[in-house]
Amino acid sequence: MTAVAERPYGRAGGGPRRGPLSGSGLTLLLPALVPVLLFSVGPLVYGILLAFTDARSGRNTETSFVGLANFVELLSDGDFWESFRIGMVWGLSVTVLQFLASLGLALLLNQDLRLRGVARVLAVVPWAMPPVVVGLMWRLVYHPDAGLLNGLFGSDVDWLHDFSLALPAVIVVGVWTGMPQTTVVLLAGLQNVPRELYEAVSVDGAGAWRRFWNVTLPQLRPVIVAITSLDFVWNINQFSLVYVLTQGGPGGRTRLPMLFAYEEAFRYGFFGYAATLGVAITIVVLAVLGLYLWRQAQEGN
């Protein structure tokens, strides 16, 4: 991997320097590292520190270090636990449903079927839409009077304001909007599965189901693990879509953790407490991901 080895035309002292980050490389990195440090690493560290303070939104309020007090409060906060539970139900069900739906679609798109072109374009469109527009569009679909669903089913349901239906209704939108990325990635993975593998099991007389189970799935495994992990992180951190759809209502039934944190910070002004919430969610996400990746790595061996 050394630079010298791959320099067939190299002249001693003539070419540019290679190898470990040299002075000029550092000069090139600085313009990007400075803003990333200032506006990404900095705020994040600042944000984590805020979780241990009682920072409020007022301009001249005193801020003091309170240790783990916010975390203690969080643990006994019923609203937080409810929001946390809703977040996990949302995150896990959207990720799983997204994956299953996208896998089915990717398998179909990978075959020689007629409608494929249309489906491919449609499969990318939700990706191209601003989340706010997706939310507004589904409000039109779910609208109790002028909406499509009630007309179709002849029902009289206020989908997004019904205590038991709101969360499932929002989950459907989450699946719809997240399918494109997952489908595109899975399709790319499917197209990378070597044909010889299929031919080999076909000789053994394996049916379509066994081909899928014994060849496709194991080959896709790394791709599946990567995309479902990403989807889970994205879904847990979802804000805009649900904010536009329900603002967390009715009665907090769709108040995802990020909506809860937003309200705490920018409606009630509890910056420190909202940061604590962010840290807590990060810990949970990392724990879930760690467990998932660890199990996958074990099974992979």
Residues 57-86 interacting with another protein (rule: CB under 8 A)? 59
- Letters for 158-197 (x = contact with another protein by CB under 8 A, - = none) are ------------------x--x----xx-xxx--x-----
Hey, what are 56's tokens?
A: 């409020």
Q: How far apart are CA 261 and CA 237, in angstroms?
A: 11
Asked if 274 interacts with another protein (CB under 8 A), we say: yes
Query: Which of 86, 105, 167, 169 touches another protein by CB under 8 A?
Result: 105
Q: How far apart are CA 68 and CA 86, in angstroms?
A: 25
Count of residues that interact with another protein, criterion CB under 8 A: 111
Asked if 91 interacts with another protein (CB under 8 A), we say: no
Region from 75-83, 90-98, 163-171, 260-268 binding another protein, contact rule CB under 8 A: 260-268
Hey, what are 24's tokens?
A: 């000029």
Asked if 155 interacts with another protein (CB under 8 A), we say: no
Closest CA to 235 of 287, 186, 170: 170
Query: Which of 148, 291, 293, 297 touches another protein by CB under 8 A?
Result: 148
How far is the CA of 292 from the CAs of 115, 147, 225, in angstroms? 36, 40, 8
Closest CA to 110 of 204, 267, 220: 220
Q: How far is the CB of 174 from another protein (least distance, A)?
A: 13
DSSP 130: -
Q: How far apart are CA 229 and CA 2, in angstroms?
A: 34
How far is the CA of 114 from the CAs of 108, 117, 212, in angstroms? 11, 7, 22
Asked if 92 interacts with another protein (CB under 8 A), we say: no
Q: Under a CB-based contact definition with an 8 Å cutoff, are residues 226 and 246 in contact? A: no
Asked if 36 interacts with another protein (CB under 8 A), we say: yes
Q: What angle do CA 98, 104, 109 make, to 5 degrees?
A: 115
In the bound state with another protein, the residue whose beta carbon lies nearer, of 47 and 252, is 47
Asked if 201 interacts with another protein (CB under 8 A), we say: no
Q: Under a CB-based contact definition with an 8 Å cutoff, are residues 83 and 260 in contact? A: yes
Region from 19-27, 77-85, 90-98, 292-300 binding another protein, contact rule CB under 8 A: 19-27
Asked if 119 interacts with another protein (CB under 8 A), we say: yes
Q: How far is the CB of 200 from another protein (least distance, A)?
A: 22
Q: How far is the CB of 72 from another protein (least distance, A)?
A: 19
Q: Among residue numbers 213 through 232, which ones bind another protein (CB under 8 A)?
A: 223, 226, 230
Query: Which of 89, 92, 141, 165 touches another protein by CB under 8 A?
Result: 141
Hey, what are 11's tokens?
A: 């002249």
Q: How far is the CB of 219 from another protein (least distance, A)?
A: 12
Q: Under a CB-based contact definition with an 8 Å cutoff, are residues 144 and 157 in contact? A: yes
Asked if 117 interacts with another protein (CB under 8 A), we say: no
Hey, what are 246's tokens?
A: 């329900």
Asked if 242 interacts with another protein (CB under 8 A), we say: no
Query: Which of 140, 200, 287, 297 touches another protein by CB under 8 A?
Result: 140
